[in-house]
Amino acid sequence: MSLLENTEQPYDIVQAALPCIAGGLGCWSEQVIEGGAVFDASGAYRYRLWRRWDQERPLLVFVLLNPSTADAHRDDPTLRRCLAFARTWGYGALEVLNLFAWRSSDPRGLTCTPDPVGPDNDLYLLAACQPQRPVILAWGNWGSLQNRNRSVLNLIAGSRLYCLGRTRSGQPRHPLYLSARLEVEPFDECLEFMKSVESPLANR
């Protein structure tokens, strides 16, 4: 399925009034011409991450589980996989948001903080997941933690939602170990299955 149908051309970067916006040249994947990240003042939460490599092509948004080590200057394995998908599908920019803004390389770390979502995370999700913009949902099984998946789906319901397949529990698959040649599918079927599955993480 092509994600380029009826997609608007490059977006205007939304800059909310939050404490720390980092950007500039650094250790990016090849051909990136612009990138950055938005953190809270403490650096514990990352709200937004972006890369651009072609000014003439549109933006693709991914919503993942939570941030790991990638920042304004460094890519991590998950980001590199998302970049590969975006380039393969003909996009010129990538923006990454997360269900939880808490930075942790292990999803179990989300259970060790009283607020893994982050006070401003929903603002950034709303700004990025605009109506009719294509959004790839890819948070994996841990997305049902605290029923956060359902909260975010309600928040961004106006976007064009896609996924890379579903896990056994019905969650949209995480991109890290998937082939870059994988085709996307509409999220509707995944959503119906997810609603029928009760996750043990929902009440944690």
What's the pLDDT tens digit per position in 117-173?
999 999 999 999 998 889 999 999 999 999 999 999 999 998 999 999 999 888 999
Inside any domain, residue 14: no
Global confidence as pTM: 0.82
Share of the chain above pLDDT 70, in %: 77
| Residue of 106 and 30 predicted with greater confidence | 106
Inside any domain, residue 191: yes
- Counting the structural domains of the chain, the total is 1
- Of 9-18, 65-74, 107-116, 179-188, the poorest mean pLDDT is in 9-18
Inside any domain, residue 200: no
Alpha helix ranges (H) inside 51-169: 77-88, 121-128, 148-155
Residue 200 has pLDDT above 70, yes or no: no
Share of the chain above pLDDT 90, in %: 67
Residue 12 has pLDDT above 50, yes or no: no
Strands ordered across the beta sheet of 185-186: 20-23, 34-39, 46-52, 93-98, 59-64, 134-137, 160-163, 185-186
Inside any domain, residue 10: no
Inside any domain, residue 7: no
Could you list the residue range(s) of the whole structural domain that residue 43 is in?
Answer: 20-195
| Residue of 32 and 6 predicted with greater confidence | 32
